[in-house]
Amino acid sequence: MRGVCTRSGSLSAADFYASAIYFSQRWNETNSDFPNWVWIPCSRLGAISEDEGYLVLEKVKLQTERNDSNLEELNNCDSSANDELTDEATLVDVHSHYAHLYDLHIAYSFTYKVPVLYFRGYKSDGCHLSLDEIKEELPSHSVEILQKSKWTFMTQEEHPYLNTPWYTLHPCGTGDWMKLLLSSTSYGENISLIQYLPAWLSVIGQTVGLRVPLELYSRS
Amino acid sequence: MEEEATKYIWEGAIPLQIKLHESEITSFPPPPPLMILGLRIGYLPLLVPPLKAHFSSTLPPGTDNVWFDYKGLPLKWYIPTGVLFDLLCAEPERPWNLTVHFRGSPGDVLTPCEGEESVKWSYINSLKEAAYVINGNCKNVMNMSQADQYDLWQSLLKGNMEGYLKISSKLKLGPFGEDSLPSEESEIVASSRPSRIPVRLYIRSVGEEIVDIEDAPIIDSWDKISYINRPFEIYKEEGGYVSLKQALKSLLPETFNTNSSQEESSTNVKDPNAPDFEDDNAKLRLVRVQGIEPDMDIPFFWLANCLRNPEFYLHICVFISKQPKLR
């Protein structure tokens, strides 16, 4: 079932797949600084699914407090630098041993009929970050939101397709806030469900410090 | 009938023989294993108090980090004990021999369990999820009073069915198949919404050459098991009743893949001497729910109402053989 989303903040599995492919293509076209999102099809009992799977963005540097303060430190230390901001992408290459990297996966919840974010963080030596360490890194407003919001909170759960523990933002409130988001006038009427993931990520991305480039939202 | 079924489920228990892992035994002679009953609807970490009491004198110093394994496979603590048994013991083992560890939980494989609180959180979360599947929202669970939440959990801990029923009936989450929409929803909306049943499927693949399921090899990794947490949906207009077999096929479309394999066979040139295969890609070898192997024609809604767990999920263990390919 494809279609226009007006009443609920959720989407079908088929719509999730369509939106995921659209979103990853747009991202890969417009966002050369970041690695590509890749669709991993679900493989079960030797049969590879045509339309069930999840999106993966791996070893990405997020816009976290820690990485931002590294940026400041480096700016202050470098006495010969001019006053312009240095290119963040260059800094990653040169100083990547400071940066924590993250894996982000987006899977579909058949219960709540919404996307769900799963993520893990790594230190430079490859060790996993604990929940407390991740919370320390998150943008400060996001930690506040997570503590106060009844709509979203972070837990550790098993990844729906890999048999390992991942951190996740609980999806039970997603339908409610997506309904509000999609009905707001900035999206206009008759928003196609293919736009669901970029819209969803514009909110979720802020929680974990993932910047979504504005070009992604321009209609192609 | 359903009351009898509920009683059967609440009274169901697996005889367990739990030994302490040898690396954690500091006394001689080593302590004997603990013989204990694990409620089918319960969870292994809830057995820690009697286990701790039994083994504490021999444990090395340190903080507890309890986990269990069956023949080397770390056990997922949030899966009900009865489901683990039905899934992992192709041939029911009585007593079921498990190993308990108090140190060094494998954090790369198992989500951490901090005792009873973790299990309670997981249980309530599953209950919320089931409520969402059934009603389209989890308000009734979110709005439970602290006292009710406490009593519900205590009832589960102690295997107190009456206590549990008193509170769970307030949640108005069943029976499945009956209209549970609030009165203000319009008729039009009512008929367009499907009925949804919370289902958790655990699938094991067994080689076609294994004639007797009880000879299936031991599971040494969770990668050999497919877990599907997906509601079963049916629109009321579809009418009639759905059998267990039909429900399973709709939950596992690629596995059975009836339509496309029919198309393929009509376009391929068939060897007239080749044996005729079923249309399906896979064959159901065994289905277990609460230790029972139900008839495949049993009405699915009735099965779900009778055999669901206290968090309103129907857990189904399925053993499947893939069909050999046409050559």
Please state the domain extents for chain B: 12-101, 116-171, 183-320
Average pLDDT (A60-70) is 69
pLDDT at B189 over 80: no
Which residue from A163, A156, A118, A129 is spatially nearest to B75, judged by alpha carbons?
A163
Interface test mutation site (partner A, options B67, B111, B185, B320, max chain A beta carbons within 10 A): B111
Better pLDDT: B173 or B81 = B81
Does the active-site annotation cover A172? yes
Q: Which residue of B has its CA nearest to A130?
A: B107
Query: Are B198 and A111 a contacting pair at CB < 8 A?
Result: yes
The arrangement of secondary structure in B12-101, i.e. its CATH architecture, is Roll (3.10)
Q: What is the percentage of chain A residues whose pLDDT exceeds 70?
A: 71
Binning pLDDT at 50, 70 and 90, where does residue B282 land?
confident
Binning pLDDT at 50, 70 and 90, where does residue B156 land?
very high
DSSP chain A: ---B--S-S---HHHHHHHHHHHHHHHHHH-TTSPPPEEEEEEETTEEEEEEEEEEEEEEE---HHHHHHHHHHHHH-TT--SSPPPHHHHHHHTTTT--EEEEEEEEETTTTEEEEEEEEE-TTSPBPPHHHHHHHS-HHHHHHHHH-SS--EEEEE-SSSSSEEEEE-GGGHHHHHHHHHHSGGG-SS-BGGGHHHHHHHHHHHHHT----GGGGS--
Please tell me which of the candidates B111, B133, B255 has its beta carbon nearest to residue A157.
B111
Please tell me which of the candidates A49, A128, A158 has its beta carbon nearest to residue B111.
A158
Interface test mutation site (partner B, options A1, A109, A158, A162, max chain B beta carbons within 10 A): A158
Binning pLDDT at 50, 70 and 90, where does residue B274 land?
very low
Dihedral (CA of B257, B259, B260, B262) sign: positive
* Chain A residues 139-178 within an 8 A CB cutoff of chain B: 156-158, 160, 163-165, 172
Residues B115, B78 contacting (CB under 8 angstroms): no
Query: Are B255 and A47 a contacting pair at CB < 8 A?
Result: yes
Question: B226: distance to nearest CA of chain A, Å?
Answer: 7
Chain B positions touching A113 (Cβ under 8 A) are none
Q: In this predicted structure, what is the pLDDT of residue A130? A: 85
Chain A positions touching B227 (Cβ under 8 A) are 160
A132 touches chain B (CB under 8 A): no
Q: What are the start-end ranges of the H helices in chain B?
A: 2-11, 48-55, 81-88, 116-135, 139-142, 146-158, 161-168, 187-192, 244-251, 253-256, 258-267, 300-307
Question: B31: distance to nearest CA of chain A, Å?
Answer: 33
Query: Are A156 and B255 a contacting pair at CB < 8 A?
Result: no
Chain B positions touching A48 (Cβ under 8 A) are 254
Catalytic residue among A5, A42, A127, A172: A172
pLDDT digits (tens, 9 = 90+) for B47-80: 999 999 999 999 988 889 999 999 999 999 999 9
Question: A149: distance to nearest CA of chain B, Å?
Answer: 14
pLDDT at B93 over 50: yes
Average pLDDT (A59-84) is 60
Q: In this predicted structure, what is the pLDDT of residue B236? A: 67
Query: Are B132 and A45 a contacting pair at CB < 8 A?
Result: no
Q: Identify the bridge partners of residue B160 per DSSP, sorted by sequence position.
A: none
DSSP state of B289: B
User: Which amino acid, B59?
Assistant: L
pLDDT at A39 over 90: yes
Query: Are B257 and A49 a contacting pair at CB < 8 A?
Result: no
DSSP A55-88: EEEEEEE---HHHHHHHHHHHHH-TT--SSPPPH
Question: B282: distance to nearest CA of chain A, Å?
Answer: 9
Average pLDDT (B184-203) is 71
Question: B27: distance to nearest CA of chain A, Å?
Answer: 34
The arrangement of secondary structure in B183-320, i.e. its CATH architecture, is Roll (3.10)
Average pLDDT (B144-155) is 95
Average pLDDT (B200-227) is 90
Better pLDDT: B145 or B213 = B145
Average pLDDT (B297-315) is 94
> Are B12-101 and B183-320 the same fold in CATH?
yes
Q: In terms of DSSP bridges, do strands B96-101 and B13-20 run parallel, antiparallel, or are they unpaired?
A: parallel
pLDDT at B190 over 50: no
Average pLDDT (B81-109) is 95
- B116-171 CATH: 1.10.246.190
User: Which amino acid, B124?
Assistant: I
Q: In this predicted structure, what is the pLDDT of residue B209? A: 85
Residue A202: burial class (beta carbons within 10 Å; 0-12, 13-18, 19+): middle
Average pLDDT (B203-232) is 90
pLDDT at A125 over 90: no
Residues A118, A155 contacting (CB under 8 angstroms): no
Q: In this predicted structure, what is the pLDDT of residue B238? A: 60
Query: Are A49 and B223 a contacting pair at CB < 8 A?
Result: no
pLDDT at B194 over 70: yes
| ipTM value for the complex | 0.85
Chain A positions touching B112 (Cβ under 8 A) are 156, 165
User: Which amino acid, A115?
Assistant: P
